[in-house]
């Protein structure tokens, strides 16, 4: 049975990725930071879950060390993210910048380094998918620290695509406005969609479909799929 490890499974996209993997008969391991209804559901479906704060390198290493005892590993999806508005205070900026780097760059690097041997030992077509952001290439100055960290995650994928070729394929997905947060105002939603060519919220399914496209196409590595309704072009 193929085995996948997904980060950030406690809500939204990470939860949906695991649900589809389980539906398709995969063995699923998932990381989460905070327990939720989603983690309860996944555990009930047989997923193996690990609680860890990705800002804590020791916690990440401990999680990876446990995963190293897995019989096999065929897929890693780096989905976990950390996002809040850019703070104004310099001390707060320093803490926020450190958190962004640890979650989006350091933790994925530690996971890749720690689990790379398992991936390379797979007798299938092992894959890693980094879920980054359309602003990794065209940053939004309002969210400059977050987008810089996502650019780091984006570039990290390219490094591993080279490092692990030809055995392991590594690709990127850059989502746009797929699913607004509950705290987003109607004015914010209208403003974002006005700058999106398809002028509608995408939902999670287009991202899930893009992940499976990357998994199924054995001649893709170092590639990127923008799942953004054309927002990248409209900026």
Q: Does residue 33 contact residue 52 with C-beta atoms inside 8 Å?
A: yes
What CA–CA distance (Å, rounded) separates 34 from 75? 23
pLDDT tens digit string along 9-39?
A: 999 999 999 999 999 999 999 999 999 999 9
pLDDT tens digit string along 75-116?
A: 999 999 988 778 889 999 999 899 999 999 999 999 999 999
Active site residue 146: yes
Q: Does residue 175 contact residue 187 with C-beta atoms inside 8 Å?
A: no
- In order of their start, the domains of the chain are 3-234 (3.40.50.720)
How far from 185 is each of 20, 46, 182, CA to CA, in Å?
Answer: 30, 37, 8
CB-based burial label for 67 (10 Å; 0-12, 13-18, 19+): buried
Q: Is 227 left (phi over 0), alpha (psi -120 to 50) or beta?
A: beta
Partners of 225 in the β-ladder = 173
Sheet strands side by side (includes 224-227): 48-51, 27-32, 3-6, 75-78, 127-131, 169-175, 224-227
Q: For position 98, what pLDDT does the model report?
A: 95
Of the candidate ranges 52-61, 85-94, 132-141, 183-192, the one whose mean pLDDT is the lowest: 183-192
- Confidence check: pLDDT of 71 > 90: yes
3-state secondary structure of 107: helix
Partners of 207 in the β-ladder = none
Q: Identify the residue whose tokens are 């359309």.
A: 134
Q: For position 187, what pLDDT does the model report?
A: 86
Nearest to 19 by CA among 100, 182, 170, 37: 37
How far from 71 is each of 45, 120, 180, 225, CA to CA, in Å?
Answer: 20, 13, 38, 31
Q: How far is CA 85 from the centre of its chain?
A: 19
3-state secondary structure of 12: helix
Assign 227 a pLDDT band (cuts: 50, 70, 90): very high
**Of 32, 143, 146, 160, which residue is the catalytic one?**
146
């Amino acid at each position: 049975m193929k085995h996948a490890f997904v980060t950030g499974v406690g809500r939204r996209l990470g939860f949906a990725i695991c649900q589809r993997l389980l539906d398709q008969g995969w063995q699923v391991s998932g990381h989460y930071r905070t327990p939720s209804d989603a983690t309860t559901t996944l555990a009930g479906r047989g997923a193996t879950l690990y609680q860890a704060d990705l800002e804590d390198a020791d916690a990440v290493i401990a999680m990876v060390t446990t995963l190293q005892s897995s019989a096999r590993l065929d897929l890693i999806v780096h989905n976990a993210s950390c996002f809040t508005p850019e703070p104004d205070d310099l001390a707060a900026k320093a803490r926020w910048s450190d958190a962004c780097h640890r979650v989006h760059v350091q933790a994925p690097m530690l996971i890749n380094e720690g689990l790379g041997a398992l991936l390379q030992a797979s007798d299938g077509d092992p894959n890693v998918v980094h879920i980054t952001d359309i602003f990794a290439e065209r940053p939004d100055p309002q969210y400059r620290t977050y987008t810089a960290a996502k650019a780091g995650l984006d570039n990290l994928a390219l490094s591993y695509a080279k490092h692990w070729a030809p055995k392991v394929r590594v690709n990127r997905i850059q989502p746009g406005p797929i699913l607004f947060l509950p705290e987003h105002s109607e004015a914010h939603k209208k403003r974002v969609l006005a700058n999106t060519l398809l002028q509608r919220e995408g939902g999670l399914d287009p991202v899930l479909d893009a992940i499976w496209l990357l998994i199924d196409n054995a001649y893709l590595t170092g590639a990127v799929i923008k799942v953004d309704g054309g927002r990248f072009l409209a900026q």
